[in-house]
Structure 1
């Protein structure tokens, strides 16, 4: 009995982006018949980055459920966009927006890594502008496909991570998030090398 209680308590704080992604995929894919859509949308490297982002959010906000909600929203959006892509739901104009978004995301990853590698080069205005541009492009991309609730999720995620105070703390070379940023940038590097972003 005591062991069961302790074990339950120990697992209460276990949060895995990968598990959350799987749940979201199952929920969405259960209503879809196409075999091609039954694929992983979020890989291991991305899951590791999301876990680090969760840790940063949790520590920064001091609110575990808010940190989980941000990551859940991010995963739901990524999975839904993945489903739309795999089912060829975007028209030519929207695909051009998607390319623009991918370029901006690539630029954002390169900038994030550069700011990490060279101490005291971090510029919160630059990061905020890139994240805001990514948000706006994503909203434009899904405008005709997703509900206002999903649009709210996109805003929630990007507004959370473009918070200048959070970004400043994240990039403080002697701050509490240095090890998280190291892992995030290592993951981003891998995604860049693989051509994922």
Structure 2
């Protein structure tokens, strides 16, 4: 017996269309200004750190595609009660991670790369659990790519170096995170 659902097909089409539109110019249609500013700074950090413009673009593009697809799944009520519990756990962990990132920035000599890396890895694992049955292995790889990139202890160490070249980027990232925390977005 073949299972067909026009609603499922429409959702797949939306995910496909939106993922192909995940470019820097179109991101502003789906992501607010504060988040866009944070993404711009994350792009600059990735570009400088990796020395590879295309890798930095790929990381941000992967992040945007995943955010858009998960947003679509939420709007179309695709998550089970159990998955919504995982989503709540992810949101709490993300909030805690943002607060920790801000605290490490504001309070000198408190940065711990192992703590920050573990928080990002934990967020990755929760997100993979959330989308396990909803997204393709290619999307799972995108999630892994993004979180592994930013959980890199060497990147984090350079980012949080008080005298390093990323200090201005970190200031803008934390200012944006602070705004999102205050707004209740994360």
Q: Given the two structures, how large is their TM-score scaled by the length of structure 2? A: 0.86
Which position in structure 2 is the counterpart of 1:103? Answer: 92
- Judging changes above 3 Å, is the alpha-carbon distance between structure 1 residues 18 and 190 closer, same or farther for their aligned structure 2 residues? farther
SS at match of 1:79: helix
Which residues of structure 2 form unaligned runs of 5+?
1-21
SS at match of 2:103: helix
Q: Which runs of 4+ in 1 moved over 6 A?
A: none
**Alpha-carbon distance in 2 for matches of 1:114, 1:60:** 23
**Alpha-carbon distance in 1 for matches of 2:23, 2:102:** 22
Contact 1:124/1:164, CA 8 A, preserved across alignment: yes
The structural deviation recorded for 1:20 is: 4.4
**Alpha-carbon distance in 1 for matches of 2:66, 2:78:** 15
Instruction: Identify which of 27, 30, 33 aligns with 1:21.
Output: 27
The structural deviation recorded for 1:18 is: 5.0
**Alpha-carbon distance in 2 for matches of 1:56, 1:66:** 11
Which position in structure 2 is the counterpart of 1:135? Answer: 124
The structural deviation recorded for 1:41 is: 3.6
Which position in structure 1 is the counterpart of 2:32? Answer: 43
Note the aligned Cα RMSD (angstroms): 1.3
The structural deviation recorded for 1:191 is: 0.2
The structural deviation recorded for 1:141 is: 0.2
Q: How does 1:17-166 map to 2 (within 5 A)?
A: 18-21=24-27, 40-166=29-155
The structural deviation recorded for 1:172 is: 0.2
Contact 1:18/1:44, CA 8 A, preserved across alignment: no
Which position in structure 2 is the counterpart of 1:184? Answer: 173
Which position in structure 1 is the counterpart of 2:8? Answer: none
**Alpha-carbon distance in 1 for matches of 2:126, 2:25:** 28
The structural deviation recorded for 1:110 is: 0.2
Which position in structure 1 is the counterpart of 2:6? Answer: none
Which residues of structure 1 form unaligned runs of 5+?
1-15, 23-39
**Alpha-carbon distance in 2 for matches of 1:51, 1:84:** 25
**Alpha-carbon distance in 2 for matches of 1:165, 1:127:** 11
| Number of residue pairs matched by the alignment | 165
**Alpha-carbon distance in 2 for matches of 1:72, 1:20:** 11
